[in-house]
Amino acid sequence: MIESFFWPFFKSLVALFIITDSLGNLPFFLGLTEGETGAEQRKVFTTALVTGLIILIGFLFLGNALLALFNVTLDDFRIAGGILLFWIAIEIMLRGRISIEHKEDIGVVPLGSPLLVGPGAITTSLVLLQLYGYWVVLSAIIACFLLIGIVLYFADHIYAFLGKNGALILTKIASILIAAIAVQFIRQGITGIMRIM
């Protein structure tokens, strides 16, 4: 029982932590809150965490209803999501981060969404939901955001330890892993469609 939960949970946690890319985006997090006090910075990061968590859990429970509403199969979503994830991976590889243009309340936009929880994280959670079920993925989402909270709380120390080059290397590695997850989603979607035909 424990083993049947732990391995899917671990795989889901790793996939979600990679796609949220909190370590790779540390320079961006710190850049947006530059000049603010520690208390102000923590308030912004808390807002980002709560925003991202609400969005992701909301899509976890309502995502399938939305798919049914638009008559989209999971395999369709896997392929479309895989292509989107692959594009995100390329963008991170070329730019060093996901490009964000919105400048409203940074705790909600862009830190909460789309930086922490964008289309890639939503796609990943919905595909994982079909593979492992609600409790595994919900547990993985909560654990992932606890890890992100730790990363953001110690953002200054982690970035100082990694340095600019270390953060850049982490970003590049994350982009490759995201691309690999994207290919897996596309392959699973095509396989599912081929079974029906």
Cα angle: 18, vertex 170, 6; to 5 degrees:
35
From CA 19, how far away is CA 97, in angstroms rounded?
12
pLDDT at 54: 96
Mean model confidence pLDDT for the chain:
82
Report residues of the chain scoring pLDDT below 70. Answer: 1-3, 28, 31-32, 34-35, 96-105, 110, 167, 170
To the nearest 10°, report the CA torsion of 82, 76, 20, 93: 20
Tell me the C-alpha distance between 82 and 68, whole Å: 19
The helix or strand, by DSSP H or E, that contains position 106, with its residue range, turns out to be none
Where along the chain do its domains lie?
A: 41-196
Give yes or no for a contact between 67 and 74, defined as CB atoms under 8 angstroms apart: yes
Instruction: Give 9-14 contacts, CB < 8 A, sequence gap 24+.
Output: 9/132, 9/136, 9/139, 9/140, 9/143, 11/132, 12/128, 12/132, 12/136, 12/137, 12/140, 13/140, 13/143, 13/144, 13/147
Whether omega for the bond prior to residue 8 falls within 30 degrees of 0, making it cis, is no
So what's the pLDDT on residue 104?
42
Strands (E), 82-191: none
For residues 123 and 192, what is the distance between their CA atoms, to the nearest angstrom?
17
